[in-house]
Amino acid sequence: MASYETGQLGYYAHNIAELDTSDLSALHTTAWISNLNHLADQYAQVRVNYIAANSGIVLNNISNNIPRRFITLGPFSLLTTSAGTPNPVRVGIAGIRTKGSNPLVYGIRVHPWGFPDYLLPDGTFPQVALTYVSPPPSPWIDATTPHIINTFTTHMVADAETALSPTQTLPLYAASVYVWTNFGLPAGTDAKLEGVYVAEFGGG
């Protein structure tokens, strides 16, 4: 049996001693554990696969250092590792500059559901910024490189075994995805959002 020391396997590795195997053969138990490990590693979910079906969301006349919100998606709970922290997520953004010539920055962050949109990106929550420079071959910005958010804090997720552990006063039972633009641009740039992808990665 292969050994998987990432993802949620640790949860089982630490609990094998508690197994009640009185009604199971050794082979059966091995198969069961293998299946559990297998299932654990498989369970990462695609949380967002958003496609701007009707011509996308356009933000006009983006100004310097004033982030603008495209959309908030969710909520959903996030899988946790054996340490109680969320697995990393792969993120992707499809977008295009529809006016102007300066580089555009698209930002995507995961934060507790219910966190007010008007609280702009400030580093409080894990985020990734993707820079659009010129028309790429794919609408997905820098499509050949997966972008990973892996700096979650434990208060962002539901603890499936015990209870939620919010450190804030908000009802933090789930996370959501917030997509925005833009930093450091002269006014007069228009940006369009065409797709958002967020998928958990159980191997991180």
The footprint of other proteins on residues 32-51 (CB under 8 A) is: 32, 34-51
- Closer of 55 and 122 to other proteins (Cβ): 55
User: Quick one: 144 exposed, middle or buried, by C-beta within 10 A (0-12, 13-18, 19+)?
Assistant: exposed
Residue selected from 17, 20, 134, 135 as contacting other proteins according to rule CB under 8 A: 20
Type of residue at 204:
G
Binding segment toward other proteins, per CB under 8 A, in 59-67, 103-111, 123-131, 153-161: 153-161
The footprint of other proteins on residues 171-200 (CB under 8 A) is: 171-173, 177, 192, 194-199
Q: Name the token pair of 165.
A: 């552990």
- The DSSP string of 12-40 is HHTTGGG---TTS-HHHHHHHHHHHHHHH
- Closer of 71 and 129 to other proteins (Cβ): 71
- Closer of 113 and 125 to other proteins (Cβ): 113
Confirm or reject binding of residue 55 to other proteins (CB under 8 A). yes
Confirm or reject binding of residue 56 to other proteins (CB under 8 A). yes
Phi, psi values for residue 34, rounded to 5°:
-60, -45
Q: Are 202 and 88 in contact (CB under 8 A)?
A: no
The footprint of other proteins on residues 73-112 (CB under 8 A) is: 73-77, 79, 88, 90, 92, 94, 96
Confirm or reject binding of residue 202 to other proteins (CB under 8 A). yes
Residue selected from 63, 64, 119, 146 as contacting other proteins according to rule CB under 8 A: 146
User: Quick one: 95 exposed, middle or buried, by C-beta within 10 A (0-12, 13-18, 19+)?
Assistant: buried
Type of residue at 158:
A
- Closer of 64 and 171 to other proteins (Cβ): 171
Binding segment toward other proteins, per CB under 8 A, in 60-68, 123-131, 134-142, 183-191: 134-142
Nearest 5°: CA angle at 122, between 121 and 127?
Answer: 60
